[in-house]
Each structure stands twice: as C-alpha cells, then as structure tokens.
Structure 1
Amino acid sequence: MNGSAADRLRRLRWVLTALFTTMNAIGLIVLAWIVVNEDADRGTAEVTSSLDRVTSAVSRQVGYDGGVVSFALVNSDELNNACPQFAILPGGAQTFRPHLSGRTCVPMDTGVLNGLAADAIHTGGLVQGYQQSTDGRSVLVRAQPLLNPSGKYLGAVVASADLTDTESAHTRFVLLVVGGCVLLIAVLGFAGHLLSGRSIRPAAAALQEQEVLLAETAHDLRSPVAALRALAETAQANPDQRAALLPRTVQLASDMGSIIDSLLVRARLAAGVEQLHLQPVWLDQLVTDIAESAHTGGAQVTVTAAPTKVNADPTLIRRAVGNLLDNAVRYGRQPGAEAIVHITVYGGTVTVADHGPGIDPSTAADAFDRFSSTGGSSGLGLSIVRWVAQAHGGVLSVYNADEGGAIFELRFPQAA
C-alpha cells in the first residue's frame, strides 16, 4: 500500500466506516424486508378474514325448499347492505336467478364471478384470488360452494373486497420503512465514522509521538553533532591539539547520549509506560551548573540564584533549562551584537531574559507549539520546555521586557 503511515491510517478509517455501515445496512435491509412482508401478509389476512365472515354467514342463510333457492334471510341480514359485497351464483350447478348484495362497493363483472363460483363447485372447496374490477381496481375475491340438503352443489357465494385502501396503507408503510432505513444508515455511517476514528486514535497518537520523537531527536542533536564535527576537523588539522580536544569530544558524546536518553524517557512518559523520577532538587545549583557547562558561543550569560528546592526529574529539568538558554543565545540578540542572557532562579521559578528583539504578541501563544517558531527554528525546543513544565505541574510563560528582549519564565511547584 502506497502513501505515508498517516495516509494509510486515514484510508483505514474510511474502510472501517464502510465496513461498519455496510454490515448495518445489510441487517437493516433484511429486517425491513421481513417487516414489509409481514405488513403485506397482515393486510391480506385482514381482508381474507372479512371475506370469510361474509361467505360463511351468507352460506348459512341461503334456503332450499322443494328445489327452490330462497334468499329471504339473506335479504334481511345487515351484510346484504355492507362491504365487502357478495353474490350468490349458480356456477353451472343449478339454474336459479343470481342474487347480488344490495350495496355495490366495487363494480365487478358478473361473468368473472360466476366463473369463480364454477371453480369452487368443481374443486369442492374454497377458491380465492386477485381480480380486477371493471374500473381497474385490485380486488380480492373468495368463493365458497353451497350444498343443498341432499349434499349436492347448488351454487356458490362469491365475496369481493376492494384492496385500494389496504394497498395504499401498505405503500405508505413501505415508504416509511425505506425512509427510516435510509436515515438510520446515514446515522450509522456517521456513528461508524466516529467510532472508527476513536478506534484508530491510539495508533494515530503513537504515530504522532514517533514523528515528534524523531523531530525532537534531530533538533536536539543538531548542535552537539555540529560541535563534534568541528572538534574532529580541528583535531585532524592540528594533531598537536588532539590531547586538549579529546576531553571536549568525550563530553559532547556524553551530552548526546544524555539527550537520546531524555528523548526516550519523554517518549515513554507520553506513552504512559514510565513515570517521572521525582526527587528533591536544588534548582539554583542545577541551573548554575547548566549555565557553566553550556556552550554559549561567546554569549554573556549571568546567573542570579537564591536557594530553592523543587520535587522534579533532574534530567528533564536540565534539558528544559538548557533549551531555554540555547533559545536565548541563538535568537536573543540584536543584529551584529553578541547575545546577553541573564538567568534568575528564585521561589521555584527560572527566568531567562535576553536582549533580543522580543516576541511578537500576536504569535506569542504559538511560540510553544511543535514545529512553530518566531525565530526560524523548528519550534521543538520551546514545546519540549512547555511539556516538561506541564509534566511537573508547572507552567511556562513568555512576555517582553519593557526595555526590550524576551523573558521566559519556567515555574515549578516548590518542595515542602
């Protein structure tokens, strides 16, 4: 699969969304098909029940006396003037005048109905099916054969029911089910997209941490690697200075190892697999040692420190203060002038002030974001400082001095 790891994660999210939506859509479609068919069967069953009630009642009311068919009881029954309508037809079994119910609910061809009566007499059982009325409506017809007292067929009762209302109600139900399914699929698709995003969030966070770790490694190793190369070139060009340059080379290698170790600790802490190694630390002594051992390139660095103790991880504190000092030396100077940096330690706070151009207030809030910087750097140095402060329950602030220059204030909770 081509593309970056981030692109593959984004594609995976869409694949998971599509899979989740498709599976739910299939389930909804099957459920909708079952519900729609049940509704259709229910509607047909209701109409069939009404037809059965009519044919059964009417067939019991047909009289037969001396070969003459009587409809006296049928005419007096309320079913004669209600819907569904019915007809008593000979169907070719005997000859008598057909009887049609008093109310015409749906116009039907008598010849068609008489044919159904003949089918019922021929089969000796119920005949039911769909027909069309003379005006084109769908009609359900049910024919029940009639027996005379001697057990011979004399005709059949044929009842007819208009299906227009039933079909209209079923159509509305189908539209409601289809619309509901479409809406549910859309909602489930959106929910699936959110769930898939949450499911890949740990992988995305791990990928981001990996990218940040690589960027921070490159950022922090850039200066010592350049200094190590300069020392090696100097030693190569001046063999008589090798003995003097060797301790500095060893120190740089040690610093690089410490940087890598602190980066690994940072990654483990961010991943939650390691805890801060907190211990009582004299912040004033630690900052003074950092300033004395830092490679400032000729910058004027002064330290004013009062005894202050904090509970902190000394490795991370050293790195955070080192980044602030490095930032001030690099960018806290006026054009053509050497950098002047003053560090103050008091009450659990480390203040690093420079004499540079200061920070634009409109971009001060972004100065601590990764890969964002007002001075042309990668922006990782200050983001690391802020992370160290937050990990210790502290805060990093920045503002401009009245006389010019930026002031970075790193505050830690003091130890009891």
Structure 2
Amino acid sequence: MNGSSADRLRRLRWVLTALFTGMNTVGLVILAWFVLSRDDAQGIAQIDVQLDRVTSAISRQVSFDGTINFSMVNSDELNSSCPQFAIMPGGAPEFQAHLSTKTCVPMDTGVLNGLAADAVRTHGIVTGYQTGSNGDLVRVRVEPLLNPANGRYIGAVVAVADTRPVQEAHTRLVLLVVGGCVLLVAALGVAGHLLSGRSIQPAAAALQQQEVLLAETAHDLRTPVAALRALAETALDNPTQRADLLPRTVRLAVRMGSIIDDLLVRARLAAGVEQLTIQPVWLDQLVTGVVEDTHAEGAQVTVTAAPTKVDADPTLLQRAVGNLLNNAVRYGRRPGEEAIVHITVAGGTVTVADHGPGIDAAAVEDAFDRFSSTGGSSGLGLSIVRWVAQAHGGTLSVYNADEGGAIFELTLPVSAA
C-alpha cells in the first residue's frame, strides 16, 4: 500500500466515517419512504371516508315513487357542505340531475355523468382520481342507485373531494422529513467522524509511540555505536593499544545496553503491558542501596535519608532512582571538575541535586519529553523517570538551584501501611 502508516490510518478514518454515514443514510431513506408512504395512504383514506359518508347518506335519502324524489336530499346539511356531490342518471332512464348547492371544486357535468354511467354499467362502486375544471386533481367516489321495486339501477351518486389540502399537508411533511434527514445525515457524518477517530485512536497512539521509540532509539544509539566502531577500528589497526581500548569498549557496550533497557521499559510502560507490582517500600533503604550499587567513578555522592515508606514497584523505582543518579553523575559536573551529587530522601520525595551547569529552561518547558542539558544529555533516562512517576501516581519536577546546578525531585505516594 502507498503512503505512510499515519496516512493509511487517516484514510481508514474517512472510510469508517463514510461507511457509518452511508449505512445510517440508507436506514433513514427507508424510514422516510415508509413514513411518507403511510402519510400519503392515510391522506387518501381520510378523503375516501368522507366520500363514503356522503354517497352512503345521500343514497339512502333518494326515494322512488315512480319518479325520483330529492326532497330529503335537499334538506340534508350535506347538500350545502363539502365534499360536494351530484346525482346523475348515468345512462339509466333520464331524470333531472341533482347537484349539491355548494361548489367546492368546479367539475364538468359530463365527466360526472360519465362516472355515474361506469357505476351503473359495472353495478359497483367506482373510486379514483379526476381532473377538475380548473385543472386541480380531485378524488371521486361513485355509488350506484338501485330501484328496490324492480332491482334495476337508475343512476348514481357521485361525490367529489378536493385533494389540495391533503396534498399540501403531505408536501409539508415531505419537506420536513427531507430536511430532517439531511440534518441527521450531516450530524451522523460528524458523529461518525468523531467515533471513527476514537476507534482508531489506540492504533494511532500505538503508532505514534512506535515512531517516537524508533526515533529515540536511532538518536540515542547513533553516538555510542559510532564510538564503539571507532574503538574497534582503532584496536584493529593498533594491536598495542588493545589493552587500553578494551575497558573503554566494555563501558561503552554497557552504556548501550542501559540505553536499550530504558527504551524497552518506556515502550512497555507506554503500551500498558508493564504490570506494576505495587507494595510498601522503604524509600530511604532503596535509594541507599542504589547508590551503593552504582559505580560513580570521579564523583562525590552523599545521601541524607529519613525513614519513609511509599507504595511502589521496587524494580521500576530502582531504575528511576538509578537514572536520576546516573544523569547527575554524568552531566552534573563542570568542565575539569569532579561531579558532586547530593541525594535527600524524606516524606516520599527523592531529591537529587548536582553542581553542574543546570538544565536548559526550554527543556524544562518540554515537560520531560526530551531533555537537553548543557552537557549534551539525550534525556531518555529522565523520560523513563517521568514515566515511572506517572505510573505510580507521582510527579517528577526539575529546577535550577540559585547557586548553580540542577535539582530533580521524584515524589511518590506515601504508604499508609
């Protein structure tokens, strides 16, 4: 695949966003279609109920006594309300057509009579749509009239209803549903983008940690590898100097191993795979033991410790204190002078002070992500100390002393036991 891993993650986020939005859009379209279809069907059903009420009532009020009698029809309130109706012969024995007094929709009487003829011919109810004289769409219902004396159809009642109110209400609903769907799709797109970002966040964080780890590995190993190669080439070209070069080579290899160990610890802490074994630890005894086990050639290290117990992982805590001590011994000295380091332990805090050139203020603002002292420290060891402090719920602070030198304070939760 083309592009970096970060680019592929960004493309994956957009793909997940599109997939999430597309699936929800399909669901919204189906739901909108169902709602609009039901609304359209209910609108037609409401009109048909009104038309059925008119044709049924008027059919019962038409009397037959040799001639068709409309007297009851004329006195009914339906005769002057909407929907309008007409009683047409429809090809049966001719009689004078009767039209309701209120014209709700202008209709051609020829069209009405043709509808009545269809009902008389088919001996059944006819429903459907027609076009009014003004071009509007109307709904019609035709119910044939049966002469009970001879069982013959003598005409039909044609009821007509204007569909514009129902159509306008349906149109408003369509606009409302479409607008709502558009807004929901937009909201779902934003939500999908945020959710997809959160879903790939662990992978992005792991990738970033991997890239940082690789960059730090290359940065911190470049100098010792080059020095180790130079020592090896010098020893190869000058056999008489091998006795002097071999100890330097061993010390350099030990330093490289320490760097690699620090990198692995940081990677495991960042990935969350390092399992902390929290237990009460006498901090003063642990610090004293680390100082005794550390080879501090060319440095004066003093310890002032008061009994204090903290809750911590002793292995990681030893590494953190060792890194602070090594950093002070290596970089806490002035050119041509012996390193002087003083360690104080009290109240759950380990304070390491040196007499070196101090810490660059810009490095302090970088929050221990990458330290640079005037002595050229890569700062990886201090980064490990910060990770250990955070893993234990503690803090790591640094500042410069007024009389010169750097002061590091590692604070851990005091044990309640």
Alignment of 1:358-373 (within 5 A): 358-360=359-361, 364-369=364-369
Listed as ranges, the gaps of 5+ residues in structure 1 are 294-299
* Residue in structure 1 matched with residue 233 of structure 2 by the alignment: 233
Cα distance change, pair 173–193 in 1 and its aligned pair in 2 (3 A): same
Letter in 2 for 1:176: L
Deviation at 1:50, TM superposition (A): 0.6
2:302 is aligned with what amino acid?
T
Kept in 1: contact 2:389–2:411 (CA 8 A): yes
Structure 2 equivalent of residue 145 of structure 1: 144
TM-score normalized by structure 2? 0.86
Change (3 A) 1:339 1:215: farther
* 1:351 aligned counterpart, secondary structure: strand
Q: Which residue of 2 aligns with 1:396?
A: 396
CA contact (8 A) 2:299 2:339 kept: yes
In structure 1, what is the equivalent of residue 274 of structure 2?
274
Structure 1 range deviating more: 108-117 or 253-262: 253-262
**Superposed, which structure 2 residues align to 1:164-203 within 5 Å?**
164-203=164-203
Aligned to 1:302: 300
- What's the CA shift for 1:278? 6.2
Matched letter for residue 189 of structure 2? G
State the AA in 1 paired with 2:30: V
CA distance 1:244–1:339, shift in 2 (3 Å): closer
Alignment: residue pair count: 405
Question: What is the DSSP-based 3-state SS (H/G/I as helix, E as strand, rest coil) of the residue aligned with 1:350?
Answer: strand
In the TM superposition, residue 215 of structure 1 has moved relative to its aligned partner by 2.7
Q: Is the 8 A contact 1:394 1:413 kept in 2?
A: yes
Question: Which residue pairs with 1:2 in the alignment?
Answer: 2
- TM-fit CA distance, 1:59: 1.0
- The aligned amino acid for 1:175 is L
2:300 and 2:133 mapped to 1: Cα distance? Answer: 109
Identify if the C-alpha distance between structure 1 residues 195 and 39 changes in structure 2 by more than 3 Å, giving closer, same or farther.
same
Q: 1:372 to 1:97 in 2, by over 3 A?
A: farther
Partner of 2:296, secondary structure, is helix
- The alpha carbon displacement at 1:373 in A equals 5.5
Normalised TM-score (structure 1): 0.86
Alpha-carbon separation, structure 1, partners of 2:252 and 2:378 = 22
Letter in structure 2 aligned against 1:157: V
State the alpha-carbon separation in 1 of the partners of residues 378 and 168 from structure 2. Answer: 69
Structure 2's unaligned 5+ residue stretches are: none
Residues 323 and 381 in structure 2, CA contact (< 8 A), matched pair in contact too: no
Aligned counterparts of 2:62 and 2:269: Cα–Cα separation in 1: 95
Alignment of 1:15-34 (within 5 A): 15-34=15-34
SS at match of 2:266: helix
One-letter amino acid matched to 1:193: H
Conservation of the 8 A alpha-carbon contact between 1:262 and 1:315:
no
Structure 2 letter corresponding to 1:242:
R
Structure 1 residues 270-314: Cα deviation after superposition (integer angstroms, max 9, x where no partner): 333331356856213414544616xxxxxx743221246765444
Residues in 2 aligned to 1:257 and 1:333: alpha-carbon distance in whole angstroms: 24
Q: Distance in 2 between matches of 1:268 and 1:357?
A: 30
Q: Residue 69 of structure 1 corresponds to which residue in structure 2?
A: 68
Range with greater deviation from structure 2 (389-398 or 337-346): 337-346
- Does the residue aligned with 1:200 lie in a helix, a strand or coil? helix
Kept in 2: contact 1:354–1:405 (CA 8 A): yes
Task: State the percentage of identical aligned residues.
Answer: 62
1:255-266 paired onto structure 2 within 5 Å: 255-266=255-266
Give the CA deviation at 1:45.
Answer: 0.4
Give the Cα–Cα distance (whole angstroms) in 2 for the partners of residues 301 and 168 of structure 1: 92
Distance between the aligned counterparts of 2:270 and 2:313, measured in 1?
Answer: 17
SS state at 2:176 partner: helix
Distance 2:131 2:328 in 1: 91
- Letter matched to residue 78 of structure 2: L
Q: Call closer, same or farther: CA 1:122–1:278 in 2, change over 3 Å.
A: closer
* Partner secondary structure for residue 143 of structure 2: strand
Aligned counterpart, 2:120: 121
1:17-166 matched pairs, under 5 angstroms: 17-66=17-66, 68-149=67-148, 150-166=150-166
Indicate how the Cα distance of structure 1 residues 232 and 254 shifts in structure 2: closer, same or farther if over 3 A, else same: same
Q: Distance in 1 between matches of 2:252 and 2:266?
A: 21
Partner residue, 1:352:
353
Amino acid at match of 1:14: W
Superposition CA RMSD, Å: 3.0
* 8 Å Cα contact 1:284/1:345 also seen in 2: no
Contact 1:325 1:352 in 2 (8 A): no
The answer as to whether partners of 1:51 and 1:159 remain within 8 angstroms in 2 is: yes
Deviations 1:299-332 (A, max 9, x none): x7432212467654446644664367548855x6
| Structure 1 position 16, deviation (Å) | 0.6
**Match for 1:170: what amino acid?**
H
